[in-house]
Amino acid sequence: MAAAPQDKSRKPRKPTESMDRDELLAAYTTMLLIRRFEEKAGQLYGMGLIAGFCHLYIGQEAVVVGMQHAIDTGDEVITSYRDHGHMLAAGMDPKGVMAELTGRSGGYSKGKGGSMHMFSKEKGFFGGHGIVGAQVSLGTGLGFSNWYRENDRVSLTYFGEGASNQGQVYESFNLANLMKLPVVFIIENNRYAMGTSVERASASRDLSLNGVPWGMPSFSVDGMDVQAVKAAGEEAVAHCRSGKGPFLLEMKTYRYRGHSMSDPAKYRTREEVQKMRAEHDSLDSAKARLLELGLDEAGLKKIDDGLKAQVQEAADFAQASPEPEPGELYTDVLVGG
């Protein structure tokens, strides 16, 4: 597969049946959890319970869930500020995530990080980064640590197509393939960086080719199809684990909501958004497939109801959890004081 990566990258790969019924159901459930969680976060923001910047992942769920199904416990994940989905997919507790969004002591960063900055050593989630592109070099460093220790772990490094224009991304690509570091670079191409479409920001017309000058194998993937994502992810991860170096995946996806909560959304039409939602929604297609595989509406509705209750519980927890103690202001600046 690494033989002619450039050819493969020209077109999104064909949807693949990479999951059996149970696995697809599990993936669907996680995607739906992310969606319900994000809807609730949007609501709480509107009520002033969440403040600052809050970037929702609605529309992109298949990317992170598909990739999570391609890795093993012990592999690492790092991403940008659009991070709620990545944390839920990594198995972090919705209560702790939501409580961080409300800035309470029960949050993953004790309320000190907020929506953009959460971490979980236990779940291999390394944040949660606010400076566009910065996590790409950090993710390369996660890969470096695995190379150094000669284990077979892989790190997933997510970034937006807007971030893919930052210089340190290419410095990282070079380092990673030069040193054969086990990093899967994942561009979440949701077509917009705030109000700038990919066409207005990138001279490169095919982002999956951006690793080619460094000899990095790559391809584009239909990021709205969780099974296609998983299949691509497995290939990339296998390549990394076998010591052959990094891999680049361009996920073609779409965000339904604004960039953050304060997005006037004048840079795209409502029709464009509605069309994506109506025709390419990852949850709709996964659900349709599950029905074909013999599940019934009532069963799926029950799952949805359960998730809504779980998310409501997280929201209740996030409001009931107390604010951090004033003394927390001074802790964690340096180890040992």
Chain residues in the site for ligand TPP (CB under 6 A):
82, 130-132, 160-163, 188, 190, 192-194, 259
Q: According to the binding rule CB under 8 A, does residue 241 interact with other proteins?
A: no
Q: Which of residues 188-207 bind Mg ion (CB under 5 A)?
A: 190, 193
Burial of 88 (0-12, 13-18, 19+ CB in 10 A): buried
Across the chain, the runs of DSSP E, i.e. the strands, are 76-79, 125-128, 155-160, 183-189, 192-193, 196-197, 218-222, 247-252
Q: Which of residues 263-292 bind other proteins (CB under 8 A)?
A: 263-267, 270, 277
Identify what 250 binds: ligand TPP, other proteins, Mg ion, none; CB under 5 to 8 Å per kind: none
Q: In whole angstroms, how close is the CB of 54 to other proteins at the nearest point? A: 9
Identify what 51 binds: Mg ion, other proteins, ligand TPP, none; CB under 5 to 8 Å per kind: other proteins
> For residues 229 and 35, what is the distance between their CA atoms, to the nearest angstrom?
18
Q: In whole angstroms, how close is the CB of 184 to ligand TPP at the nearest point? A: 17
Closer of 152 and 206 to other proteins (Cβ): 206
Considering only 128-136, 161-169, 246-254, 270-278, which stretch makes contact with Mg ion by CB under 5 A?
161-169
Q: According to the binding rule CB under 8 A, does residue 2 interact with other proteins?
A: no
In this structure, what token pair is assigned to residue 136?
Answer: 């790409």
Burial of 69 (0-12, 13-18, 19+ CB in 10 A): buried
Given candidates 12, 96, 113, 160, which one binds Mg ion under the rule CB under 5 A?
160
Residue 112 to residues 117, 131, 213, Cα–Cα distance (Å): 8, 17, 41
Q: SS3 sequence, 48-106?
A: CCCCCCCCCCCCCHHHHHHHHCCCCCCCEEEECCCCHHHHHHCCCCHHHHHHHHCCCCC
Burial of 179 (0-12, 13-18, 19+ CB in 10 A): middle
Given candidates 4, 333, 335, 336, which one binds other proteins under the rule CB under 8 A?
333
Q: SS3 sequence, 144-158?
A: HHHHHHCCCCCEEEE
Q: Which residue is nearest to Mg ion (CB)?
A: 160
Q: Smallest Cα–Cα separation from 248: which of 125, 129, 164, 138? A: 164
Considering only 67-75, 192-200, 215-223, 280-288, which stretch makes contact with other proteins by CB under 8 A?
192-200
Measured in whole angstroms, the distance separating CA 326 from the mean position of its chain's CA atoms is 33
Binding mask 94-133 toward other proteins (x if CB under 8 A, else -) reads ------x--xx----xxxxxxxxx-----------xxxxx
Q: In whole angstroms, how close is the CB of 80 to ligand TPP at the nearest point? A: 6
Q: String of b and e for 319-329 (b: at least 16 CB within 10 Å)?
A: eebeebeeeee
Measured in whole angstroms, the distance separating CA 126 from the mean position of its chain's CA atoms is 12
Identify what 82 binds: Mg ion, other proteins, ligand TPP, none; CB under 5 to 8 Å per kind: ligand TPP
Q: Which amino acid is at 42?
A: G
Identify what 69 binds: ligand TPP, Mg ion, other proteins, none; CB under 5 to 8 Å per kind: none
What does the binding site for other proteins look like in residue numbers (CB under 8 A)? 36, 39, 42-49, 51-53, 100, 103-104, 109-117, 129-133, 162-163, 165-167, 193-196, 200-202, 256-258, 261-267, 270, 277, 308-309, 312, 315-316, 319, 323-324, 326, 328-330, 333
What does the binding site for Mg ion look like in residue numbers (CB under 5 A)? 160-162, 190, 193
